[in-house]
C-alpha cells in the first residue's frame, strides 16, 4: 500500500527453516506481499499454511509441499483471506483438502473479488502475480476451532474473531510450541490495518488487543508472524504493546476534541519515535483512523 512500486512478490524456496521435527517455514525474506509459509507434517498427512499470492506462487508452494509430503495426504489452510495469504488456493484443488474457519470463507466469498481489483492497482509486479486468480471455495469449513489429526500430531486451527480481518485464524502445533499468526503479528513493522472506508472497515483495533492477550495465554515457544522474521513469544507482547499505545495516544487526543489530521500527525510522530526501525509507517495512519472510529463516544 506504499506509494512506490512494490518489488516482485515472489515466493522462493530459499532459507527453508526447520522449526521443529517435521515442521518447516518458507520464510518471506522480508519481501513485501510475500507471507511466511508453513509446512507441518504428521505420519499420514501434511498441512500447508498459506499459498502465496496468485497461481504461480502457489504452484511453487505446492511443488515444495508435495515433495516434502512424499506421498502423505495434503491439507491447505490460510490464516485469512488477503491475497498474498490465500489467493493461490485454486492450484491446490484436487491435490489438497482446503480447510478454513467459516468467517474466513465468508470474507473470501464476500470481499475476494474487490481485493483482487484493489491489489491489481498496486503496480505491475503485483498485477502480474494476480493474473489468472480465481477465488477458491474451501472444501471444509468449521465454526470456532478444529483439531486436525496429521497422524501422531494434532494441529489446532482456531478462529480468533474479528481483529486484523473479520475471519482471522491462528494455527498452533502444541507438541512443538509453534504458532502461526498470520497478519495478527508482523515482525519488524507496524501492525497492518486494512482500514479502507467505506469499502472495508472490518479491522478492529480494540478486538485485536483482546485477541493478542488471549494468544499470549497460549504461551507458544515459537511465533511465525504473517510477515518478517520468526521469533518467540515477545513478538506477541510487542504487537499488544504497540496496539495499546496506539489506542491510548489516539483516544487521549480524541477526548480533547483534536481534529483527526492533527491526531494522525502527532500519533505518527510518537510511534515512529518508539519504533524507529520498524517498516510500514503508512499503516500508523490507518490504525489511527480505525481507532478514532472505535472511540467510545
The site for Zn ion (CB under 5 A) is made up of: 82, 183
How far is Cα 231 from Cα 148, in angstroms, rounded to an integer?
A: 24
**Quick one: 46 or 230, whose CB is closer to Zn ion?**
230
**Quick one: 41 or 112, whose CB is closer to Zn ion?**
112
Query: Who's near 262: CB < 8 A, 6+ residues apart?
Result: 253
Nearest approach, Cβ of residue 227 and Zn ion (Å): 9
CA distances from 284 to 3, 35, 260, 288 (A): 15, 20, 13, 6
**Quick one: 82 or 275, whose CB is closer to Zn ion?**
82
Nearest approach, Cβ of residue 86 and Zn ion (Å): 9
CA atoms within 13 A of residue 105's CA, in its CB half-sphere = 14
CA atoms within 13 A of residue 236's CA, in its CB half-sphere = 22
Grid coordinates standing for 113? 473479488
How far is Cα 74 from Cα 65, in angstroms, rounded to an integer?
A: 8
Cα–Cα nearest to 219, from 186, 176, 164, 184: 176
Residue located via cell numbers 502465496: 52
**Quick one: 41 or 167, whose CB is closer to Zn ion?**
167
- In residues, how long is the chain? 297
**Quick one: 80 or 254, whose CB is closer to Zn ion?**
80
* H-helix segments, 102-233: 102-120, 124-130, 205-217
Nearest approach, Cβ of residue 192 and Zn ion (Å): 6
CA distances from 257 to 158, 234, 260, 266, 285 (A): 39, 35, 9, 14, 18
**Quick one: 183 or 249, whose CB is closer to Zn ion?**
183
Nearest approach, Cβ of residue 278 and Zn ion (Å): 17
**Quick one: 45 or 169, whose CB is closer to Zn ion?**
169
Nearest approach, Cβ of residue 45 and Zn ion (Å): 26
Nearest approach, Cβ of residue 202 and Zn ion (Å): 11
Nearest approach, Cβ of residue 193 and Zn ion (Å): 10
Asked whether 271 and 245 are in contact (CB, 8 A), the reply is: yes
Amino acid at each position: 500500500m506504499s506509494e512506490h512500486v512494490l518489488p516482485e512478490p515472489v515466493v522462493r524456496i530459499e532459507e527453508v527453516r526447520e522449526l521443529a521435527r517435521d515442521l518447516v517455514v518458507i520464510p518471506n525474506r522480508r519481501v513485501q506481499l510475500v507471507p511466511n509459509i508453513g509446512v507441518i507434517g504428521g505420519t499420514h498427512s501434511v498441512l500447508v499454511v498459506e499459498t502465496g499470492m496468485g497461481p504461480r506462487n502457489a504452484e511453487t508452494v505446492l511443488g515444495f509441499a508435495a515433495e516434502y509430503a512424499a506421498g502423505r495426504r495434503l491439507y491447505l489452510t490460510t490464516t485469512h483471506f488477503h491475497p498474498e495469504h490465500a489467493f493461490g488456493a485454486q492450484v491446490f484443488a484436487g491435490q489438497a483438502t482446503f480447510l478454513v474457519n467459516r468467517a474466513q470463507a465468508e470474507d473470501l466469498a464476500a470481499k475476494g473479488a474487490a481485493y483482487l481489483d484493489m491489489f491489481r492497482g498496486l503496480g505491475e509486479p503485483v498485477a502480474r502475480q494476480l493474473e489468472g486468480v480465481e477465488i477458491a471455495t474451501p472444501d471444509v469449513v468449521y465454526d470456532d476451532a478444529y483439531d486436525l489429526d496429521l497422524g501422531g500430531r494434532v494441529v489446532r486451527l482456531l478462529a480468533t474473531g474479528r481483529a486484523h480481518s473479520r475471519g482471522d485464524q491462528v494455527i498452533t502445533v502444541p507438541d512443538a510450541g509453534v504458532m502461526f499468526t498470520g497478519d495478527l503479528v508482523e515482525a519488524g513493522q507496524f501492525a497492518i490495518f486494512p482500514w479502507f472506508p467505506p469499502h472495508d472497515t472490518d479491522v478492529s483495533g480494540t478486538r485485536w488487543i483482546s485477541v493478542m492477550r488471549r494468544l499470549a495465554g497460549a504461551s507458544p515457544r515459537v511465533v511465525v508472524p504473517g510477515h518478517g522474521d520468526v521469533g518467540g513469544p515477545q513478538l506477541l507482547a510487542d504487537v499488544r504493546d504497540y496496539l495499546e499505545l496506539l489506542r491510548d495516544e489516539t483516544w487521549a487526543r480524541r477526548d480533547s476534541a483534536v481534529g483527526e489530521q492533527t491526531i494522525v500527525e502527532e500519533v505518527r510522530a510518537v510511534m515512529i519515535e518508539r519504533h524507529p526501525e520498524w517498516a510500514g509507517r503508512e499503516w500508523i495512519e490507518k490504525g489511527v483512523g480505525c481507532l478514532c472510529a472505535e472511540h467510545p463516544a
